[in-house]
Structure 1
Amino acid sequence: MSFQDKSLQCSDCGATFTFSAEEQELFQSRGYTNEPKRCSPCRQAKKSERYGSSGYGASRQMFPAICAECGRDTEVPFEPRGDRPVYCSECYRKVRPG
């Protein structure tokens, strides 16, 4: 089947965007039957809204800690509970198994 670029109107912002022939082929190969309703920026905004801003490229919340090996102040991407040792990244590489 031969596809041609189509101009569509975004349901969120009203802007006109192109639904390219390549995108149409991709949609068909994945079994999608509906055309996209949103332009690319609005799709990205909707994804961020739905999944929060914890997607790729988003910064993680970091928690202060003191390394159990070297005693330096560090930050880790989880809240230390106190019942297990916490290491800075350098010491963690030294003590981790494997």
Structure 2
Amino acid sequence: MYQDKTLICKDCGNEFVFTAGEQEFYAEKGFENEPQRCKDCRSIRKNSMKTQKEMFTANCAACGAEARVPFRPKEDRPVYCSDCFAKMKDE
């Protein structure tokens, strides 16, 4: 049915294999285009698109420890450290 294909990466120019299993996966997902980048270049591209979240520091409302959170804490809402948040979630 499917056979391995050798493709050329459009970023680095190196050859890479588009395996029969990958082709089957692409077909199951309805993807019509073959990959244009090798695995390494896809990873580099994916990681470069991620943005670093700004982290904020607050004191945990339960234990008083310093907590780093990805949102700006508000004075009228409690903020919990990871441990206290997990304990509250389990209860």
TM bracket, shorter-chain basis: 0.7 to 0.9
Cα pair distance change 1:28/1:73, threshold 3 Å: closer
Post-superposition Cα deviations, 1:19-60, rounded to whole Å, max 9, x if no partner, equal 00111111122222221111011112222333x246xxxxx5
Against the structure 1 CA distance between its residues 33 and 92, is the aligned structure 2 distance closer, same or farther, given a 3 Å change threshold? closer
TM-score computed with the length of structure 2 as normaliser: 0.76
Counterpart residue number, 2:65 = 72
Are positions 1:86 and 2:79 aligned together? yes
Q: In the superposition, relative to structure 1, how do residues 35 and 80 fare at CA in structure 2: closer, same or farther (>3 Å)?
A: same
Equivalent position of 2:24 in the other structure: 25
Question: How big is the alpha-carbon RMSD for the aligned residues of Structure 1 and Structure 2?
Answer: 2.4
For 2:13, what is the secondary structure of its paired residue?
Answer: coil
Query: 3-state SS of the aligned residue for 2:61?
Result: coil
Matched pairs, number: 91
Q: 1:36 to 1:80 in 2, by over 3 A?
A: same
Aligned-pair identity (%) = 47
Superposition deviation, residue 18 in structure 1: 0.3
Question: TM-score, structure 1 length as denominator?
Answer: 0.72
User: What residue in structure 2 maps to residue 40 of structure 1?
Assistant: 39
